[in-house]
Amino acid sequence: MLLKHQSPRLLALLLAFDVVGAGALYVALGSHPAWGGPNFGNGLHWLVLGLVACLAWPVTLGQLGLYSSQRRQSFSHLTARLLLAGAIATGVMMIAAFVAARPARTVFLAALGLSQTVLLGGIRLALLGSLRIARRMGRNFRNVLIVGSGPRAAHVREVIERHPEWGQRVVGYVDDEGCAIDPTIPTERVHKFADVPTLIREQVIDEVVIACPRSMIATLGPVVGACADAGIPFTMLTDIFGDYLPPPRVTQFDAFAALSFAPVHHSRPKLAVKRAIDIAGSSFGLVLSLPVFAMAALAIRVTSPGPVLFRQARCGLNGRPFEMLKLRTMCVDAEQRLADILHLNEMDGPAFKVREDPRVTRVGRLLRRLSLDELPQLWNVLRGDMSLVGPRPAMPHEVAQYETNERRRLSMRPGLTCLWQVSGRNSIPFETWVKLDLLYIDTWSLSNDVRILVRTIPAVVSGSGAS
């Protein structure tokens, strides 16, 4: 229990160690001419960059919550967050060096950031490992009171018992009178809600875990109030609505803290990077494709009466309608003739695709085969209606026929290309198409976007699955 009582001092020592260690690495590497460190003759630049080097690492750790207890975090999760902290701290130092008229070379700052990550991050991992060994030996443990005595409470106890490195012990259970008790829970350790203030006074309780059924949430006021009055943290498991809900994210609703449940919680900074890539990529693509667009427009006007651009209503993010642009590849009355060829549809589900569509012009067939008809959608990407990579935008009448689970395709901004586009396009049944889109949404990352963009080039050149 000694470590628990000394935790504020240990936290202060750890913070001081991070600041001093980061500063020592700055001086050590900066003093070595091989690393191209700062010009120590310029005192102001040296002090400014040194201050940033000392504080960037600990401030980043604080923002990522790494000065709070990591008792229940896995090594892999902690390692990933330490690597992220190292990358952010290194970026901050490089920005500071740029603002300070570059008193240090990039190689020095990269070496400094890497050294801080390896040394200070490694010490953190070693400290976590040492604490886990101590907890397995019965030291530095925390007493947990579980609210509930049914299957969910029994599951919480089993999880705690499977992780002795967490250093947690269940000291009892509290539940409403008349509730069924799980057979694996000793009845003599189950107390009433009214007993909570007495339990808090007579026992050392470090945390309360709420693991009761959803039907009992309204009765937990006295328990939560007693914990708040005594300063005891309580944890509520968020599977109270069933296993089908995704993990929540803590958000704000005016002055209230709120739990936001979303199918997938994508990182907002990473989505901002994705949007920045969309803007840069679409701008560059529009400029680069101008000659191709001009030749295609001329061919369309010469061979077929009607406008060069085809405008069609599509469903974007969360089903929001927008006007999608394409080079016109069909005759001008194509929309009116749709009902006459519905029986030729080669796709199952609500989607409509015909490989030998009689409405497509000769030039249009070539444009479709090379996917050049999609070039104007770069303007949709620049406007924010679409992204470079994402599920292909569906038409409103198709979306109207979606099943509930299929509507999740709309939970991400539609794109120019996607997994479906690089996996065979029209040769893929609609059900597989939806699964590919949901897989993309569930596993989205910037690196996956890059891989899809790279795979799009040979798919377009070969015309695989195009019609």
**What ranges do the domains of the chain cover?**
2-136, 142-245, 268-462
Nearest CA to 55 among 96, 18, 95? 18
From residue 290, give the alpha-carbon distance in Å to each of 361, 375, 378: 22, 9, 11
From residue 447, give the alpha-carbon distance in Å to each of 82, 147, 198, 438: 20, 43, 54, 17
- Give the 3-state secondary structure of residue 404: coil
Residue 352, CB-side half-sphere exposure with 13 Å CA sphere: 15
pLDDT of residue 34: 61
Looking at the domain that runs over 142-245, which CATH code has it been given? 3.40.50.20
pLDDT of residue 387: 95
Tokens read off for 207: 């945390």
Distance CA 190, CA 181 (A): 8
Beta carbons of 265 and 246 less than 8 angstroms apart? yes
pLDDT of residue 14: 82
Distance CA 121, CA 85 (A): 9
376 contact partners, CB below 8 Å, separation of at least 6: 293, 309, 325, 326, 327
pLDDT of residue 344: 67
Beta carbons of 271 and 278 less than 8 angstroms apart? no
Amino acid at 229: D
pLDDT of residue 464: 56
Distance CA 449, CA 451 (A): 5
Beta carbons of 210 and 235 less than 8 angstroms apart? yes
Distance CA 217, CA 241 (A): 11
Tokens read off for 186: 């000793």
Nearest CA to 412 among 252, 278, 281, 312? 278
Distance CA 248, CA 63 (A): 19
pLDDT of residue 336: 73
Walk along the chain (467 residues) and give the pLDDT tens digit of each residue: 444 444 567 777 888 888 888 888 888 887 766 655 555 455 666 777 888 888 888 888 888 888 877 778 788 888 888 888 888 888 888 887 777 665 567 778 888 889 989 988 888 888 888 888 888 887 878 899 999 898 989 999 999 999 888 889 999 999 887 788 899 999 889 998 888 888 888 888 889 998 888 788 888 888 888 888 888 888 888 776 666 566 677 777 878 778 777 767 777 788 888 999 999 999 999 999 999 999 999 999 888 888 999 999 999 998 899 999 999 988 887 777 776 676 666 666 666 666 777 788 888 888 888 888 899 999 999 999 999 999 999 989 888 888 877 888 888 999 999 888 777 665 677 788 888 888 899 888 888 898 899 888 776 666 554 55
pLDDT of residue 101: 61
Beta carbons of 38 and 49 less than 8 angstroms apart? yes
Burial 421-436 (b: 16+ CB within 10 A, else e): bbbebbebebeebbeb
Distance CA 281, CA 176 (A): 60
pLDDT of residue 287: 92
Distance CA 375, CA 292 (A): 9
Tokens read off for 262: 């979303």
Tokens read off for 313: 């209503």
Strand intervals (E) in 202-343: 207-210, 234-236, 248-253, 256-261, 309-315, 321-327
